[in-house]
Amino acid sequence: MKAFAIDAYKGEPSLRDVPDPVAGPGQVVVAIAAASVNPIDVKLCEGEFKAVLPHRMPFILGSDLAGTVVALGPGADRFQIGDEVFACPNKDRIGTFAERIAIDEADLALKPPSLTMAEAAALPLVALTAWQVLIERAKLGPGQKLLVHAGSGGVGTVAIQLARHLRASVATTAGTDNIALVKSLGADVAIDYRKEDFSETLSGYDVVLNTLGPDVLEKSLAVLKPGGKLISISGPPDIAFARSIGANAIVRLLMRLLSFKIRRKARKHGVEYSFLFMHADGGQLAEIAKLIDAGVIRPIIDSEFSFAETPAAMTRVASGRARGKVVIAVADASRKAQEAAQA
Q: In the chain, where are the structural domains located? A: 2-123+300-342, 125-275
Sheet of 272-275: strand order equals 189-192, 169-174, 145-148, 205-210, 224-232, 272-275
Cβ proximity of 324 and 302 under 8 Å: yes
Contacts of 339 (CB under 8 A, 6+ apart): none
CA dist list (Å): 172 to 96, 161, 221, 250: 30, 12, 15, 37
Q: What pairs with residue 3 in β-bridges?
A: 16, 98
* 30 residue type, one letter: V
Threshold 0.85, pTM exceeds:
yes
Residue 58 confidence (pLDDT): 87
Phi first, then psi, for residue 2 (nearest 5°) are -95, 145
In the three-class reduction of DSSP (H, G, I as helix; E, B as strand; rest coil), residue 53 is classed as coil
Q: What fold, for 2-123+300-342?
A: Quinone Oxidoreductase; Chain A, domain 1 (3.90.180)
CA–CA separation, 5 vs 18, rounded Å? 9
Tens-digit pLDDT string for the chain (343 aa): 999 999 888 888 999 999 999 999 999 999 999 999 999 899 888 877 665 666 777 889 999 999 999 999 999 999 999 999 999 999 778 899 999 999 999 999 999 999 999 999 999 999 999 999 999 999 999 999 999 999 999 999 999 999 999 999 999 999 999 999 999 999 999 999 999 999 999 999 999 999 999 899 999 999 999 999 999 998 888 888 878 777 788 888 888 888 889 989 999 999 999 999 999 999 999 999 999 999 999 999 999 999 999 999 999 999 988 999 999 999 654 454 445 545 5
Nearest Cα residue to 186 out of 223, 148, 154: 148
Per CATH, the number for 125-275 is 3.40.50.720
CA–CA separation, 1 vs 89, rounded Å? 19
E strand or H helix at 157, and its extent?
A: helix 154-165
Query: CA triplet 46, 280, 164: central angle to 5 degrees?
Result: 100
Residue 333 confidence (pLDDT): 45
Nearest Cα residue to 96 out of 341, 343, 333: 333
The pairing of strands 84-87 and 108-110 is antiparallel
E strand or H helix at 101, and its extent?
A: strand 100-104
Residue 334 confidence (pLDDT): 44
CA–CA separation, 210 vs 273, rounded Å? 11
Q: How far, in whole angstroms, is CA 205 from its chain's centroid?
A: 24
Phi first, then psi, for residue 241 (nearest 5°) are -65, -40
Residue 258 confidence (pLDDT): 82
CA–CA separation, 135 vs 281, rounded Å? 14
Residue 57 confidence (pLDDT): 74
CA–CA separation, 200 vs 259, rounded Å? 25
CA dist list (Å): 325 to 123, 162, 209, 249, 304: 8, 17, 18, 37, 9
